[in-house]
Amino acid sequence: MHNITNLASKPVSDRPIIVVKIGTSTLMRDRSSPRSTTISSAAGEGLEDGTVELAVSTLGLLVDTLLTLRRRKYDVILVTSGAVGVGCRELGISKRPNVANAKTSEERARILADIQAYAAVGQSVLMRTYDALMRMANQKTAQILLTSGDLSTEYQYVNAKNTISALLRMGVIPVVNENDTTATEELKYGDNDWLSALVSTAVGAQWLFLLTDVDQLYTSNPRVDPKAKPIDIVPNIESLQVNLSSNTTGTQWGTGGMKTKITAARLATAAGVRVCLIHGRYPSRVVDFVGDSPNRRGTLFEPLGRPLEIERKKWFSNCLPPRGVITISREAESLLRAGFSLHTSGVISCKDRFEENSPVSICSENGLELARGFCNYSSAYLEKYGGKSAREISKILCFPVSDIVVHGDNLALLVDITSDDSEANGFLP
């Protein structure tokens, strides 16, 4: 069984912490239309050579907002996307290559190397821009680049927390991005919405603001559904019902769009973080929410009533990418809800291949992710003995065995599954 010691629970900062995430579609714009922010290189869309540039005016407003929060005695962390998109723009690349289109392993390696090179160019431009804007107000910044592998051990997790804590103590604004320059697909977070939720959870932030290209969350895509209604407050994200089926490519409703933001909100609210979705063109709305202004506009996701309080469970539930998925029965789900471990008799099926002591995702029969934890057995073992009791397995193997698949001490619930209406939540990613 994985033996995880408790991580330090010392607060990262004595001041309340606000994390702000800005995406590619917000920080880049069409030069022919200064108020347009329709470019989304993160979604693999083309960048028309010569027509795309950094939205410096938007970045200026964002930096001004961060400085305002600092003056109001908040610590702030900026999570930024856009390195690959900016790098493409700097090098005159009209369209970002897509690794998924590679036909051979050699072509895949070449495309990945190109993308990482674009990220290396774009990272320096992004940081020079942020640094120049903040230095006008004598504000220091620091760049932090992360991959999933950087937080895959307790030591690295604590070290990242300590580094951010030291920077905040020094009055520095950390600028966090995924390390696209060195990360392989297996070590990537996949999108910075999830990364921002992870950072918020790790540092114990009070607020996470996701800047996007719509004013707030709607019941469905407002670009294609005239009956879509705005949602101001989501008291419990597990009871949220919205239509995410009408995706449109190249917008926040496409891949890496609203679905990833809801996923990020689920992770952060489970750890007690308030999450807000606001339009990236108006970053001052962050101050409206923090100051509880009656004129605030956006969607507020309230934190769950039972936040993840154990630091080590935050680590393995949010920081370690699951190596596989285990689907369990409703009876096993009830036992998890009551605080028990997962046993072999409750396992219905496994997805993907994983070895012993691997981090796994535990899902209900309708596909809702319920928990994450360390699995004591391999997928091959569970495929063979899943659904059987300890007595049945011991009789087959001719020696006594433990039937604990994931021990309760090594398991963290991601949702508050206290009702029987979870069937309605299957749309969540």
Instruction: Report the distance separating Cα 78 and Cα 98, nearest Å.
Output: 27
What letter would DSSP give residue 298? S
Give the distance, in angstroms, between the CA of residue 208 and the centroid of all CA atoms in the same chain. 11
Give the distance, in angstroms, between the CA of residue 161 and the centroid of all CA atoms in the same chain. 17
Q: Are 228 and 248 in contact (CB under 8 A)?
A: no
What letter would DSSP give residue 398? T
Instruction: Report the distance separating Cα 260 and Cα 207, nearest Å.
Output: 18
DSSP labels, 259-293: HHHHHHHHHHHHTT-EEEEEETT-TTHHHHHHTT-
Cα angle vertex 293, ends 289, 298, to 5°?
45
> In this predicted model, what pLDDT tens digit does every residue of 337-379 receive, in sequence order?
888 999 999 999 999 998 887 889 999 998 888 888 889 899 9
**The predicted structure's pLDDT at residue 42:** 34
**pTM exceeds 0.75:** no
Which H/E stretch holds residue 173?
Answer: strand 173-178
Give the distance, in angstroms, between the CA of residue 75 and the centroid of all CA atoms in the same chain. 20
**The predicted structure's pLDDT at residue 163:** 92
Please, what is the angle between helix 192-203 and helix 154-169, to 10°?
80
Specify the 3-state DSSP secondary structure of 229. Answer: coil
Q: Are 118 and 147 in contact (CB under 8 A)?
A: no
How many CB atoms within 10 Å of residue 8?
Answer: 11
**The predicted structure's pLDDT at residue 124:** 92
What letter would DSSP give residue 393? H
- Here the tokens at position 331 are 């009876």
- Here the tokens at position 114 are 């190109």
- Please report the domains of the chain, with CATH numbers, ordered by start residue: 17-301 (3.40.1160.10), 322-425 (2.30.130.10)
Location of structure tokens 């030591």:
155
> In this predicted model, what pLDDT tens digit does every residue of 110-146 receive, in sequence order?
888 888 888 899 999 999 999 999 999 999 999 998 8
Beta bridge partners of residue 411, listed in sequence order? 373
For the chain, which ranges sit under pLDDT 50? 1-10, 34-50, 186-187, 247-255, 417-429
**The predicted structure's pLDDT at residue 151:** 62
Instruction: Report the distance separating Cα 91 and Cα 249, nearest Å.
Output: 24
Location of structure tokens 């940081």:
127
- Here the tokens at position 52 are 């795309």
| Amino acid sitting at position 348 | I
Q: How far is CA 234 from CA 58, 240, 299, in A?
A: 27, 7, 7
**The predicted structure's pLDDT at residue 322:** 86
**The predicted structure's pLDDT at residue 313:** 67
All residues at 6 or more sequence positions from 19 whose CB lies less than 8 Å from its CB, including other chains: 76, 77, 78, 79, 196, 199, 200, 203, 205, 207, 208, 209
**The predicted structure's pLDDT at residue 426:** 29
